[in-house]
Structure 1
Amino acid sequence: MQKIETQIDEAFKNTFLLPREKAVTQFLVDVLHSKYKFREDDKKIEVISLYYYASSPLSFLFALPNYEYYSPDKTIQIAELHLKEHSFEDYSPMDVQELCKKVLDQNNIDYSAYLDEHGHLDYAHYWENQFGLESNFIMNCWKNAKEKTQSKMLGFLESSDGESGMYDLDNNYVIPFDVSLDEYLRSHGFIIKGD
């Protein structure tokens, strides 16, 4: 099954992620280059929050100053990326299911035991890498944007529903729920002056 997982990973990346890489990276370059005016004042933003839509991570991304340091009352703009505006349709669980079926068919694997009464494939029995691939993809785009801009801004990735925790985009690290962002940054030598 390891070989099949690897093949599905590659197919998923090639079909859904890599075509979106340029648009996502450019959005993050624009965020890091301060194309978006987040506040009316001239306060330098040192910590950004990047949010993905929990049920479909690459359909909608938005960035704003991190509210642990910057007052939401002073935020006047949120940077948004809707990939539909870049001619990318959202991919659905059905699209992912069809991709999995295609890889299984190419490998002559009988997946009938994983079909429900409606003929829908439950791929969770042999492939659970989708979220990891999507979050790693976003983190990779962030790193590419940082290299292009040489920005020192710190970024943290969160889901729109807050259920998946907070990821340090620069270090690919999940911050534990019981650790505040300020505590985490101080432990890494960063002292951020907020509002």
Structure 2
Amino acid sequence: MKKIETKIDEAFINTFLLPREKVVTDFLMNVLSSQYQFREDDRKIEVISLYYYAPQPLSFLFALPSYEYYAPDKTTQIAELHLKEHSLEDYSYFDVQELCKTVLDENNIDYSAYLNPENHLDFANYWKNQNGLEIDFIKNCWKNAKENTCSKMIGFLESSDNSSGTFDLDNGFELPFEIEIDEYLKSRGYLINKEI
């Protein structure tokens, strides 16, 4: 079963993620190179929060100064990326389901036991990698954007509903729920002046 998971991973990456890579990376490069005027004053933003839309991580991304450090009422602009505006349609659960069926068919795997009464495939029984692949994709785009801009800005990734924790985009791992961003950065040697 591990082999088929790998094949579905590859198909998902090639079908849904790679076509979005340039647009997402370019958006993040614009964030990192201060193309967005987050505030009216000239305070340098050192820590950014990047949010993805929880139900569909690659349909909508937005970035803003981290409210752990910067006063929310001083934020005048939020950087937003709507992939539909770049001719990239959202993919649905059903699109992913069809992709899974195609890979299973190509590998002569009988998935009839995973069909529900409406004949929809419940791929959660054998493939649960979608969210992890999407998060890894965003982290990789961030890494590429940082390399291209040589920015020193620190970034944290969170879901719009805060259900998936906080990811350190620069080091690629998830912060424990009980640790605040400020405490975490101090433990790594960063001392950033808080406005709030």
Q: Classify the TM-score, shorter chain.
A: over 0.9
Q: What is the rounded CA distance, in whole Å, between the counterparts of 1:57 and 1:194 in structure 2?
A: 29
Q: CA deviation at 1:194?
A: 2.1
Q: CA deviation at 1:11?
A: 0.1
Give the letter for the 2:154 counterpart.
L
Q: Secondary structure at the match of 1:51?
A: strand
- Which residue of the partner structure matches residue 32 of structure 1? 32
- Which residue of the partner structure matches residue 18 of structure 1? 18
Q: What is the rounded CA distance, in whole Å, between the counterparts of 1:88 and 1:194 in structure 2?
A: 38
Give the letter for the 2:23 counterpart.
A
Q: What is the rounded CA distance, in whole Å, between the counterparts of 1:38 and 1:193 in structure 2?
A: 17
- Which residue of the partner structure matches residue 49 of structure 1? 49
TM-score, structure 1 as length reference? 1.00
Aligned length: 195
Q: What is the rounded CA distance, in whole Å, between the counterparts of 2:165 and 2:116 in structure 1?
A: 32
Q: Secondary structure at the match of 1:27?
A: helix
Coordinate RMSD, CA, aligned: 0.4
Contiguous gaps of at least 5 residues in structure 2: none
Q: Secondary structure at the match of 2:68?
A: coil
Q: Secondary structure at the match of 1:63?
A: strand
Q: 1:1-195 alignment to 2 at 5 Å?
A: 1-195=1-195
Q: What is the rounded CA distance, in whole Å, between the counterparts of 2:173 and 2:6 in structure 1?
A: 23
Give the letter for the 2:39 counterpart.
R
Q: Secondary structure at the match of 2:15?
A: helix
Q: What is the rounded CA distance, in whole Å, between the counterparts of 1:51 and 1:59 in structure 2?
A: 11
Q: CA deviation at 1:173?
A: 1.1
Q: What is the rounded CA distance, in whole Å, between the counterparts of 1:164 and 1:40 in structure 2?
A: 32
Q: CA deviation at 1:78?
A: 0.1
Q: What is the rounded CA distance, in whole Å, between the counterparts of 1:20 and 1:106 in structure 2?
A: 25
Contiguous gaps of at least 5 residues in structure 1: none
Q: Secondary structure at the match of 1:81?
A: strand
> Percent identity, aligned pairs only?
72
Q: What is the rounded CA distance, in whole Å, between the counterparts of 2:110 and 2:26 in structure 1?
A: 41
